Amino acid sequence: MLDEVQSWIAFAQHGKIGPVRFSNLYKTYDGDLAKAWEEIPKSLAKSGFDHALVEDITAWKQTFDSSKTLNTLNSLSISTVRVIDENYPKLLKEIADPPPVLFYKGEISGENDEFAVAIVGSRKPTNYGITATKQFAREIANFGLPIVSGLALGIDAIAHRATLPKRTMAVLGSGLAEITPFSNQRLGTEIIANGGAIISEFPLFMPPLPQNFPTRNRIISGLSLGTIIIEGAESSGSLITARSALDQNREVFALPGPIYSANSMGPNNLLKMGAHPLTSAQDVIQILNLEEISNFQKAKKIYADSANEAKLLEHLSKEPITADEISKLCDLDMPTINSTLMLMEMKGKVRNVGSATYVIAR
């Protein structure tokens, strides 16, 4: 019998049990999805699934190998988070149809994720779009805001690259067993290595089907306080992301472009509909009322009260480090290091996590 977490993962592997059906199952069984899994097909019928889908899922369950799925997750370093879990992305949980289960590589929760900004646009951008994407992604990331996009060719990939080594999150329209598109696999690896995340709600081996991307786009906007549309044709996928953002009561920004450029028709139409014109990164900061973020970050920053503290702060972070390791990295003797660490701990600057191992406290 599957445990509770395993049952969520199992249901998420079918591909046709979206947020509404998941919610119906959850309510029908008072949160006991392990029991719902065991009682297929009865549980599906009780939860309002139509007859054809009940038959489809029942037949699929007979061939589904939960152990193989869990082994795949472990071997590929893929983690999961459920919508009921504490570390589920806060902004995404607020939308009307959050994914019941997210599969991810890297870090799902970042320090400033509640202030994230999405940047999306054309797969075939102009030089104007490329330049604007690089500028805005870097400036917004330098302000401390994570950048969200879709790892697609064009504007998405440019936004991710411009953000690195700062935090960026990529949402795929396929399963995580293989990062797509293939040409951006190395970029995906760099995102993870720099503390970002690759995210998907789709079954592990789901290919990048065209119908997946409108569904994926609601996650991009859902993870973000605001969404920037750089370039896109009149009916481009980036406009679907913009509509998702509006439906989620999030802000939309559009880069004004030449009236004769097909790539600018999408953003220009959004501007007619009331999107915020994007002329500088400061536009985003002001509209989202994030001017105070810099003060927030300054308040969290730890300042040295002495030359010795300054030397130790160069080597202290959220990653645990021992006093012995610090001694090898700076020119202070052990008694000085130990006494300085003790004073810093008393001031609340560092925390001893055991065995003379320290982390930064804020």
Residue-level pLDDT at 298: 53
Q: Which of 291, 321, 342 is the last residue of a domain?
A: 291
Q: What is the pLDDT of residues 118-139, one digit of tens each?
A: 999 999 999 999 999 999 999 9
> Which helix (H) or strand (E) is 127 found in, with range?
helix 127-142
Residue-level pLDDT at 299: 47
Residue-level pLDDT at 293: 67
Q: What is the pLDDT of residues 135-183, one digit of tens each?
A: 999 999 999 999 999 999 999 999 999 999 999 999 999 999 999 999 9
Q: What number of other Cβ atoms are within 10 A of residue 185's Cβ? A: 13
Residue-level pLDDT at 319: 77
Backbone angles phi, psi at 2, to 5 degrees: -80, 145
What is the secondary structure of 332-359 as a DSSP string?
A: --HHHHHHHHHHHHHTTSEEEEETTEEE
Instruction: Calculate the alpha carbon distances from 168 to 67, 104, 220 in Å.
Output: 32, 13, 11
Q: Is residue 72 part of a domain?
A: no
Asked if the model's pLDDT at residue 301 lies above 70, the reply is: no
* Residue 176 belongs to domain with CATH number: 3.40.50.450
Residue-level pLDDT at 359: 85
Number of structural domains (the chain) is 3
Asked if the model's pLDDT at residue 294 lies above 70, the reply is: no
Averaged pLDDT for residues 51-66: 95
Q: Is residue 233 part of a domain?
A: yes
Same domain? 199 vs 251: yes
Same domain? 129 vs 179: yes
| Cβ-contact 163, 141 below 8 angstroms | yes
14-28, 116-130, 334-348: which range is least confident on average? 334-348
Q: Is residue 98 part of a domain?
A: no
Asked if the model's pLDDT at residue 37 lies above 50, the reply is: yes
Same domain? 215 vs 156: yes
Residue-level pLDDT at 12: 96
Same domain? 117 vs 211: yes
Same domain? 199 vs 281: yes
Q: Which domain holds residue 325?
A: 302-360
Averaged pLDDT for residues 15-35: 95
Same domain? 282 vs 148: yes
Q: Is residue 84 part of a domain?
A: no
Write the CB contacts of 304 (distance below 8 Å, at least 6 apart in sequence): 310, 313
Same domain? 44 vs 132: no
Q: Which of 244, 260, 291 is the last residue of a domain?
A: 291
pLDDT band at 348 (very low <50, low <70, confident <90, very high): confident
Q: Is residue 85 part of a domain?
A: no
- Token output for 56: 């489809």
Task: Tell me the average pLDDT of the chain.
Answer: 93
Q: Is residue 75 part of a domain?
A: no
| Cβ-contact 166, 146 below 8 angstroms | yes
* Residue 313 belongs to domain with CATH number: 1.10.10.10
CA 26 from centre of chain: 25
Same domain? 286 vs 144: yes
Does the global pTM surpass 0.85?
no
Q: What is the pLDDT of residues 302-331, one digit of tens each?
A: 778 898 988 988 888 877 899 889 988 888
| Cβ-contact 192, 104 below 8 angstroms | no
Same domain? 139 vs 36: no
Same domain? 182 vs 277: yes
pLDDT band at 292 (very low <50, low <70, confident <90, very high): low
Averaged pLDDT for residues 234-247: 91
Same domain? 124 vs 190: yes
Same domain? 58 vs 197: no
Residue that is written with structure tokens 């992301």 in the block:
241
Q: Is residue 38 part of a domain?
A: yes
Q: Is residue 94 part of a domain?
A: no
CA 331 from centre of chain: 40
